[in-house]
Structure 1
Amino acid sequence: MKPATDPLGERFVRLRQGLRAYLRRRLPDAAPVDDVLQDVFVKAVAARQTGRAIENLNGWLYAAARTAVADYFRARGDATEALDENLPMGSEADDVRLHTELSSCLRGFIDDLPAHYRDTLVATELEGRTLRALAEAQGVSVSAIKSRASRGKRLLRARVLACCHVEMQGGLVSDYHRRASPTGDGGCA
């Protein structure tokens, strides 16, 4: 008889790389990452042992990781100072880096779209061509180009969200990470 598998353990193994990358971006160096990751897993096991049902394990683990990062910094006892609430969140350099990373990631997803959607999105979104100019160049109506762009964006969004967890704040991407997949990349670009 085959031993029963632990679904929490299996899911954690699949999510481990994404959680590790998430923690590496938030901790000052790589040394404590595995310790904090272990703390997150221990919290999940403890929650399960108390009978708590975790409906969205991915969300729960990332929330526990955020809490573990805060606990890590509290335990270090670094001097802190109150922040001015009028300061913008994050630095402009961080925003540029995040958007550059995301843009390079999106290009792979766009390249995997069917040709007429891919070509339309590349021309209008990446090269900055107008819908009218593209329609004239391809000998189709502006309405056809709008339709292709709209459908291409829907396909792109579905592919991105199937492979990545994306957090938005104020209409901008504030964080993202690749979802773990039991089959490897899950068809992700």
Structure 2
Amino acid sequence: MTTDVTNIWTNFNKELKGFIYNKTRNSADTDDILQEVFVKIIRNIDKVNQSENLRQYLYGIVRNTLNDYFKNQKTFSSDTEIQEQFSETETNSLNETIAECCIKPFINKLPDNYKQALLITEFQDISQKELAEKLNISYSGAKSRVQRGKEKLKELILNCCAYQNDKYGNLIDTEGKNCGCS
């Protein structure tokens, strides 16, 4: 049985749209999902034509598309809920705690000039310009010292914990890896 997309649209459009709307209760989402269903039908028209029961096959595509939709909605809402759980004060406190317990031990392993530059600029909230004045070095020297210190800090952390990154420098999933260094 050979069926083209126009015939499928004519014969099943309203039926599929009603089914989708019953699941989502949102007209805009219904239209988006229906469009995605028909994109899948167009991409897989050969498989659709080979199906023994066209209606059953189409509803299979709709169910899979709906499942994807609800998974994405659940992921989005749970991310939003997590972000809303922490106030700005709690987030800042958490960042300070992480810096103190996880980052500072690595900074303390750096050579003194880099350690001093990072501790002053990052933990005492002093600008690089003020650092230059305090250490009696040039502003560009202070900037270089801080930058090199950050590079050396990154190397220490990456070497210790064996994190991997993608071609853009982003960390790749490290779930299940235990970083036992301190």
* TM-score category (smaller protein): 0.3 to 0.5
The structure with higher relative contact order (CA 8 Å, sep 6+) is: 1
- Name the one with the larger strand percent: 1
